[in-house]
């Protein structure tokens, strides 16, 4: 009974891969990979035990470091034949435990596939391997006046393969879109080692939009081995407004007002007072430490466009009670304004031994309600929280500050985070805007989706990976897990998981 679960991926329970034949697998890896391209000694495996969310760790059976697509295929075939799980890994900067290993599985690192294969300046596309760093693409094409638009704050480190798997965003995605909007084609090795391609060098292809389905699929449906990205012309000019507010509600309303005025800023970010106070001493960005919240509001485009838009944004912000407004007067000053925002995570790391980054999205009109609710939660859990928001698209990054060495603080932090996610769903939003479900938010999925929807997700998974070998236990919870989790959610009059026996 237990063992038969190994053969077909189903929605009901998580599979156990403990019976996989380790010795045969290692012999196969040895046969298909060159010396040094696979690791199995414990101390070599430790650097791979977690991703950017270090609270969750597991040591894998082995790590494979293929150097080309043929070797990826060979590893996938070996694992498929041995019935061993595969967890793809890019740069390991993920923040939801997506690349955390499976204890009975192989970590498939794409780090060595880091070549930019082709740049077509005229067509404004680049074909890259999955291990290429996000920023490396922009650096390679800057000479043509082009760049790759999605700019996650981790862009110096994160891989394009990881971006595709997470559908990553950045501070400029309000105007320029997410990974989804900037990728034309992916070449994918499926769990059974077959190669398929989704999308093309042109804008449209025949059939279902499997490219859209694959983007954001968190390493559950296949392994990307080649990606064609769209390149965007660099804007001629950019300017940023730094606005202070003495009340978070007024700051939240100002965000809505900018959009309502028909403006789509290139970036629209919000930081609350604790975030400003954590950042300012280190960065000296000139942020107003007495403001209840600040907004960064950027315009880019032609010089004429920017001048026009900045004037309109200024008027809206002033009309909505900004207590102070500064417009960047030089590129250096603009970069300084942003330096503070971009230093928010490191600053959290400086003011607290540990921090936990959340990632819900809510309708913009609820931004202030959320900030006020989080203040209440700080009291409830006895923990501090600083908030940075991609305000323009309602994506929140509350950073809960804690100390893992204080007994009970991690558990309180997790409960705090779960409260924020629950409220995000109650406000009509989602538990993850860009960091993915991974391992971290697997239980929160039970609150956002009902069993029929989760069953559909498992069906999609099984269509690509019938044996459930890719990244098992991530992204979509089994129905049993949700039943046990208990904190179930009822929507549309459906009772959640009535068919699942409670254990």
Ligand X SMILES: Cc1cc2nc3c(=O)[nH]c(=O)nc-3n(C[C@H](O)[C@H](O)[C@H](O)COP(=O)(O)OP(=O)(O)OC[C@H]3O[C@@H](n4cnc5c(N)ncnc54)[C@H](O)[C@@H]3O)c2cc1C
Contacts to ligand X from residues 391-420, by CB under 6 A: none
CB of 88 to ligand X, least distance (A): 4
**Residue 242 phi, psi (nearest 5):** -110, 115
Q: Is residue 371 a contact partner of residue 248, using CB atoms and an 8 Å limit?
A: yes
Contacts to other proteins from residues 144-183, by CB under 8 A: 144-146, 166-167, 169, 173-174, 177-178, 180-181
- Per-residue binding string, ligand X, 435-474, x by CB under 6 A, is x-----------------------------------x---
Q: What separation, in Å, do the N-terminal and C-terminal C-alpha atoms of the chain show?
A: 17
CB of 450 to ligand X, least distance (A): 24
Q: Which partner in ligand X, other proteins, none is near 154 (CB below 5 to 8 A by kind)? A: ligand X
Burial of 369 (C-beta count, 10 Å sphere; 0-12/13-18/19+): middle
- Per-residue binding string, ligand X, 38-67, x by CB under 6 A, is -------------xx---------------
Contact status: 163 vs ligand X (CB under 6 A): yes
Contacts to other proteins from residues 189-218, by CB under 8 A: 190, 194-198, 200-210, 212-213, 215-217
Contact status: 223 vs ligand X (CB under 6 A): yes
Q: Is residue 179 a contact partner of residue 161, using CB atoms and an 8 Å limit?
A: no
CB of 501 to ligand X, least distance (A): 30
Q: Which partner in ligand X, other proteins, none is near 88 (CB below 5 to 8 A by kind)? A: ligand X
Contact status: 275 vs ligand X (CB under 6 A): no
Among residues 395, 391, 388, 400, the alpha carbon closest in space to that of 362 is found at: 395
- Per-residue binding string, other proteins, 80-119, x by CB under 8 A, is ----------------------------------------
Across the beta sheet with 384-390, the strand order is 324-327, 237-245, 293-301, 267-272, 384-390, 395-402, 354-357
Nearer to ligand X, 226 or 272 (CB): 226
Nearer to other proteins, 352 or 424 (CB): 424
Q: DSSP for 103-168?
A: TTSEEEE-TT---EEEEETTTTEEEE-TTSBHHHHHHHHGGGTEE-----TTTTT-BHHHHHHHT-
Q: Is residue 340 a contact partner of residue 283, using CB atoms and an 8 Å limit?
A: yes
Instruction: Report the interhelical angle of 367-381 vs 248-260 (nearest 10°).
Output: 150
CB of 244 to other proteins, least distance (A): 21
Sheet strands (E) in 282-365: 293-301, 324-327, 354-357
- Per-residue binding string, other proteins, 246-265, x by CB under 8 A, is ----------xx-xx-xxx-
Kindly indicate which of the ranges 153-161, 276-284, 331-339, 376-384 contains the residues binding ligand X, using the contact rule CB under 6 A: 153-161
- Tokens, residue 115: 């070549």
Contact status: 279 vs other proteins (CB under 8 A): no
Q: Which of 88, 254, 385, 444 binds ligand X (CB under 6 A)?
A: 88
Contact status: 241 vs ligand X (CB under 6 A): no
Q: Which of 60, 152, 360, 417 binds ligand X (CB under 6 A)?
A: 152
Contact status: 168 vs ligand X (CB under 6 A): yes
Question: How many residues can be counted in the chain?
Answer: 503
Q: Which of 70, 118, 142, 233 binds other proteins (CB under 8 A)?
A: 233
Q: Which residue is nearest to ligand X (CB)?
A: 162
Q: For residues 371 and 340, give the distance between their C-alpha atoms in angstroms, rounded to a whole number.
A: 20
The one-character DSSP state at 102 is P
Contacts to other proteins from residues 286-345, by CB under 8 A: 301-302, 304-305, 307-309
β-pairing, 293-301 vs 324-327, is unpaired
Distance of CA 223 to the CA centre of its chain: 17
Ordered alpha helix ranges (H), 13-109: 22-32, 42-45, 69-82
Contact status: 453 vs other proteins (CB under 8 A): yes
Contact status: 154 vs ligand X (CB under 6 A): yes
Q: Which of 85, 130, 417, 468 binds ligand X (CB under 6 A)?
A: 130
């Amino acid at each position: 009974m237990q063992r038969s679960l190994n053969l077909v991926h189903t929605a009901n329970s998580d599979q156990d891969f403990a019976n996989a034949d380790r010795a045969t697998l290692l012999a196969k890896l040895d046969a298909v990979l060159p010396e040094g391209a696979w690791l199995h000694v414990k101390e070599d495996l430790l650097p791979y035990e977690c991703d950017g969310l270090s609270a969750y760790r597991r040591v894998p059976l082995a790590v494979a470091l293929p150097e080309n697509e043929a070797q990826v295929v060979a590893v996938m075939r070996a694992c498929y034949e041995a019935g061993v799980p595969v967890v793809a890994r890019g740069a390991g900067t993920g923040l939801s435990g997506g690349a955390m290993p499976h204890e009975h599985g192989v970590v498939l690192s794409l780090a060595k596939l880091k070549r930019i294969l082709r740049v077509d300046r005229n067509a404004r596309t680049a074909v890259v391997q999955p291990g290429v760093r996000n920023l490396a693409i922009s650096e390679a094409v800057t000479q043509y006046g082009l760049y790759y638009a999605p700019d996650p704050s981790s862009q110096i480190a994160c891989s394009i393969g990881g971006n595709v798997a997470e559908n990553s965003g950045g501070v400029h995605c309000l105007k320029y879109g997410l990974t989804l909007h900037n990728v034309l084609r992916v070449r994918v090795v499926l769990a059974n080692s077959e190669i398929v391609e989704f999308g093309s060098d042109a804008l449209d292809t025949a059939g279902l939009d499997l490219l859209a389905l694959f983007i954001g699929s968190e390493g559950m449906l296949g392994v990307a081995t080649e990606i064609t990205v769209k390149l965007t012309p660099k804007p001629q000019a950019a300017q940023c407004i730094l606005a202070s507010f003495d009340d978070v509600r007024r700051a939240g309303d100002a965000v809505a007002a900018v959009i309502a005025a028909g403006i789509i800023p290139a970036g629209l970010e919000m930081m609350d007072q604790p975030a400003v106070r954590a950042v300012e001493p280190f960065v000296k960005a000139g942020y107003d430490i007495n403001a209840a919240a600040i907004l960064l509001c950027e315009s880019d485009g032609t010089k004429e466009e920017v001048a026009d838009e900045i004037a309109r944004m200024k008027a809206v912000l002033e009309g909505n009670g900004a207590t102070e407004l500064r417009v960047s007067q030089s590129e250096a000053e603009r970069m300084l304004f942003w330096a503070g925002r971009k230093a928010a995570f490191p600053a959290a790391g400086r003011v607290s031994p540990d921090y936990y980054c959340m990632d819900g999205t809510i309708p913009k009109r609820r931004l202030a309600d959320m900030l006020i609710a989080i203040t209440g939660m700080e009291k409830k859990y006895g923990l501090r929280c600083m908030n940075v928001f991609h305000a323009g698209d309602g994506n929140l990054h509350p950073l809960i500050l804690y100390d893992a060495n204080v007994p009970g603080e991690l558990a309180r932090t997790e409960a705090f985070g779960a409260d924020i996610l629950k409220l995000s769903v109650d406000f009509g939003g989602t538990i993850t805007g860009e960091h993915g479900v991974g391992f971290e938010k697997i239980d929160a999925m039970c609150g956002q989706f009902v069993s029929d929807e989760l069953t559909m997700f498992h069906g999609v998974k099984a269509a690509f990976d019938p044996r459930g070998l890719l990244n098992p236990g991530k992204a979509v919870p089994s129905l049993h897990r949700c039943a046990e989790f208990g904190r179930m959610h009822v929507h549309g009059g459906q009772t959640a998981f009535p068919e699942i026996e409670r254990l």
